[in-house]
Amino acid sequence: MKRSELEHLIRAAGRIAGERELVIIGSQAVLGQFPDAPPALLVSMECDLYPRENPELADKVEGAIGEASKFHKQFGYYAQGVAPDTATLPRGWQRRLVRVENANTGGYAGLCLEVHDLAISKYVAGREKDLEFTRELARHGLTEKKTLRARLAATKLDAAIARVVRGRIERDFPEG
């Protein structure tokens, strides 16, 4: 997905939900901070989002422009409606959201996870595609080990899961 496609989804989802702000929590949130992110980070054709004020409207958005919809068939990308608790995130993540709002979003705004918050959610989810994503973030210098460690410390997790995530971060940042 390209930045212009994310902006199109923000505009379409905002109109459907009748809400001005949408929170983007999936991998395509990287486009908020890095509009020209490396292609390896942009392979997903879905955008995980929910309306900020009325998250329950995410189902309405997905029904209209979700997977296998007319929108998806026409444009090749789609919105996946999610709940606010879909991603495990560090304290303070809402203060760090990256706003995407311009002429292409048509008066609507996408509030994208900051890249380190996004990475923590991917480390916690731990699916192979998530770990490939975090490796690519690190490889391209878009995340920093020190910041990830601090965000991990600010994330409410079971101690065993926190140890696993710490190990995943260490693997993405091998010493010299």
| pLDDT tens-digit series, residues 28-66 | 999 999 999 999 999 999 999 999 999 999 999 999 999
Q: Are residues 92 and 138 in the same domain?
A: no
CA-to-CA distance for 140 and 43, rounded, in angstroms?
15
DSSP code, position 21: E
Strand partners, 80: 48
Q: Are residues 86 and 108 in the same domain?
A: yes
- At residue 142 the predicted structure's pLDDT band, cuts being 50, 70 and 90, is very high
Q: What is the pLDDT of residues 96-106, one digit of tens each?
A: 999 999 999 99
Q: Are residues 26 and 97 in the same domain?
A: yes
pTM above 0.85, yes or no: yes
Q: Is the pLDDT of residue 87 over 80?
A: yes
Q: Are residues 30 and 108 in the same domain?
A: yes
Q: What is the per-residue DSSP string for 100-132?
A: E-SGGGTT-EEEEPPHHHHHHHHHHH--HHHHH
CA-wise closest residue to 89 among 116, 109, 54: 116
Q: Which domain holds residue 78?
A: 3-114
DSSP code, position 29: G
- Residue ending a domain, choose from 64, 99, 114: 114
Domain count, the chain: 2
Q: Are residues 26 and 92 in the same domain?
A: yes
- At residue 176 the predicted structure's pLDDT band, cuts being 50, 70 and 90, is low
Q: Are residues 86 and 28 in the same domain?
A: yes
Q: Are residues 55 and 123 in the same domain?
A: no
Q: Are residues 77 and 146 in the same domain?
A: no
